[in-house]
Amino acid sequence: MAPLGAAKVGLFGAAGAAGDAGYFGGGGWGRQSTVDKFAFPGDSRSTLGTGLSAACWRLAAMANSGTAGYFGGGDTGSVVDTVDKFAFPGDSRSTLGTGLSAACRNLAGMANSGTAGYFGGGDDSSSSVDTVDKFAFSDDSRTTLGTGLSAARTGPAAMANSGTAGYFGGGAEASNVDTVDKFAFPGDSRSTLGTGLSAARSVLAAMANSGTAGYFGGGDTGWPNRVDTVDKFAFSDDSRTTLGTGLTAGVYGPIGMANSGTAGYFGGGLDSAPAYVTTVDKFAFSDDSRTTLGAGLSSARGLGGGMANSGSL
């Protein structure tokens, strides 16, 4: 998610136009194919008539705003390499002929919108991977970056400052990590931020206000220590702050997406009961204040994928 340049960054940044809709797909203990759609700016929820091509959890998502969104990988009873594509605005689904380079679950997705999307990290059910697959939006062709994550890890989260860089944060190697890897667009060179997450955690979610800041929320710091923490990274210098108001509850496996320029959303997850929740928390980008949507997810679930059509190119 060619670089956007100044004109396109304006579409997605703080001064940008409102987007169209955000999507939460898959997830849940029982594995679901459900895709819930939240229309911006009113946040009304509908459920797509056509869901994922198979009931799945532990998947990831990313989007080429104005064109299509993609759900990749996950576990349908076995680990898969499937990538489903939903064309905007009609939401028709197709499945890419070329999926991930290998079957993978617990991975993360982000995109340089207008150019390419990336799926990285996760595990193949036996070991964690550092792989980052890149899908060119011009033709959905896949390449695998020569430089993957700085270490193999499962359960990271990812977000992007479109036109500039994408970030993969957290996850677990032998134990949870606070690492945040940054991939500079368009060359995809990798660096690791000097300041990582405020605590080592995995199975978290992320979303971004492109041009301004990215957010990592929820996860666990060591089972069953679920957290409500939301860390914010300013894109001007990658400095980190932690929001005074976090999620409404600590959750493992939440799902994130954003209407860039307006608000970001964290939905679902497994709370400390433990039980899956339908809760969707909304953070206004103007001041990072949090509200909770009256209409949450259509069913309680987590460990799904989230993406958004955040304005048309």
% the chain with pLDDT above 70: 93
* Residue 3 phi, psi dihedral angles, 5° rounding: -40, 155
- Which residue carries 């005074």 as its tokens? 244
The reported pLDDT for the residue numbered 223 is 85
The reported pLDDT for the residue numbered 18 is 52
CATH code of the domain in which 29 resides: 2.120.10.80
The answer on pLDDT for 169 being more than 70 is yes
**Helix/strand/coil for 9:** helix
Sequence-distant (6+) residues with CB within 8 A of 167 are: 110, 158, 159, 160, 161, 180, 181, 182, 183, 193, 206, 214, 233
Task: Give the least confident one: 209-213, 246-250, 292-296, 309-313.
Answer: 309-313
CA dihedral 24, 86, 170, 116 (to 10 degrees): -150
Look at 28 and 32; give whichever has higher pLDDT. 32
The answer on pLDDT for 13 being more than 80 is no
The answer on pLDDT for 1 being more than 90 is no
Q: How confident is the model at residue 29 (pLDDT cuts 50, 70, 90)?
A: confident
Domain count, the chain: 1
Q: What is the mean pLDDT of residues 51-76?
A: 98
Q: What is the mean pLDDT of residues 113-126?
A: 96
Domain enclosing residue 293, as ranges: 5-309
Sequence-distant (6+) residues with CB within 8 A of 236 are: none
Q: How confident is the model at residue 30 (pLDDT cuts 50, 70, 90)?
A: confident
Type of residue found at 194: G
Q: What is the mean pLDDT of residues 63-76?
A: 97
**Helix/strand/coil for 7:** helix
pLDDT (tens digit per residue) in 210-268:
999 999 999 999 988 999 999 999 999 999 999 999 999 999 999 999 999 999 999 99
The answer on pLDDT for 194 being more than 90 is yes
The reported pLDDT for the residue numbered 311 is 64
The reported pLDDT for the residue numbered 11 is 33
Average pLDDT over the chain, rounded to an integer: 93
% the chain with pLDDT above 90: 90
pLDDT (tens digit per residue) in 134-147:
999 999 999 999 99
The reported pLDDT for the residue numbered 238 is 98
